[in-house]
Amino acid sequence: MQTNIQANVKAKAKKENAKSINNAFASHFAKSMFLAVCGLAILTFIGTRMFTHIDLNLYGYMVGTLVFLGGFFYRFIAWGERPPSKIIIKKGLKLLFRKSTPQTSVEHLATYRFIWNRGIYRWTQHVLIGWGCVLAICVTFPLVFGWMYFTMEDNGLYNIILFGMQILTVKADGIIANLSYNALNISAVMVIAGVCMALYRRLKNMQARAEQKFLYDFLPLYMLLLVSITGLALTFMNIFLHGEGQPVMSLIHQWSVIITLIYLPFGKLAHIPFRPMSVLARNYREHYGEQSMKKCKVCGDEFVSVEQSKDVVDVLGVNDIEFKTKEGYHLAELCLPCRRKYRIAQFSGFPTHEVKVKEANQNAKG
């Protein structure tokens, strides 16, 4: 009995302590942003050897990155507070250590296998843009915050320093050194190729043209194109023009990067940092799909897990949205083809949802 009382007292004290910490911040966003900035400051302190190795030429990129983080946390918290998102995050995190998680992570975050079914052209453009951006981020952010820098010795050796530790020494004219020099150039070429493929498809494909909006669909691509082209222009001016015009182009490139970073959390490019959430969603669907599947109330086909159908009904109830039919079932209990036919029936007066004819494209891929 005494042990239980002590445990309850400790749990209550812990809960009150956590509550008092949360009360120190105006919102979850403010708390998350504060912790993120503190984490960045600590990593920068370690990486720059107590702020003794800071490249002031990269100061603008640092400011842009901090603004990007603020926007990202704002967007993520606003998304995460939605009832459907809470379910995916809560249940997805519990299933994070499934045996299939490594394979799912590779398919969603590395090989983009989920896009392969849409065609090799779209898969190629996504791989080029996605990995081009990831490579640029892996190089740029460590340089901006001083976590990584390079030194040259008198004997022609090139040192790569990470968090103050010398992790690699290579020949200045060797393959590894040249790849290090040109990592951003390689990423820029990848992004330019991927963006050009995406622009060509969106301008030539009639279905894509009908669905595109300039500010939402085209502007992000143009911004990536501007960042990549100006970055390559810096290298071109340095090699072929002996640095002529480089100061002006450097400012143009810096501003293009900063504006893109500030815009990124609020536009279509936000799906890049949000992409890891797809692993949680996949685990959620697979785990509960293996337990029991929901049969459509009209055609009887299994179309979703029982748990997911229940969660959809609960979320709609939380938002005071009711989709009960006169037959007594919920629209979330119908498969997509039957649901579409039911909606048609509401306008036509003909009970099309009762017709046992499948749609021609209901199992189409892409």
239-to-183, 232, 244, 251 alpha-carbon distances in Å: 16, 11, 10, 18
Same domain, 239 and 327: no
Distance CA 42, CA 46 (A): 6
Distance CA 218, CA 239 (A): 32
Distance CA 14, CA 10 (A): 6
Same domain, 212 and 322: no
Q: Which residues of the chain have pLDDT under 70?
A: 1-20, 320-321, 348-366
123-to-117, 131, 217 alpha-carbon distances in Å: 8, 12, 18
Domain membership flag for residue 286 = no
Same domain, 255 and 335: no
Same domain, 298 and 256: no
Instruction: State which residues form the domain around 182.
Output: 27-82+104-264
Distance CA 104, CA 98 (A): 10
Same domain, 301 and 255: no
The pLDDT score that the predictor gives to residue 294 is 86
Last residue of a domain, one of 224, 245, 264: 264
Contact (Cβ atoms closer than 8 angstroms) between residue 259 and residue 266: no
* 304 bridge partner residues: 294
The pLDDT score that the predictor gives to residue 345 is 75
Same domain, 340 and 249: no
The greatest distance separating any two alpha carbons of the chain, rounded to the nearest whole angstrom, comes to 85
Q: What is the pTM of this model?
A: 0.78
Digit-coded pLDDT (tens) for 160-200: 888 778 888 888 778 888 888 888 999 999 999 999 999 99
Which pair of structure tokens corresponds to residue 279?
A: 């692993």
Question: In this prediction, what percent of the chain has a pLDDT beyond 70?
Answer: 88
Same domain, 183 and 302: no
The pLDDT score that the predictor gives to residue 351 is 59
Q: Considering its fold, how many domains does the chain have in total?
A: 2
The pLDDT score that the predictor gives to residue 366 is 41
Distance CA 329, CA 116 (A): 37
**Nearest CA among 309, 234, 264 for reference residue 71:** 264
Distance CA 250, CA 87 (A): 45
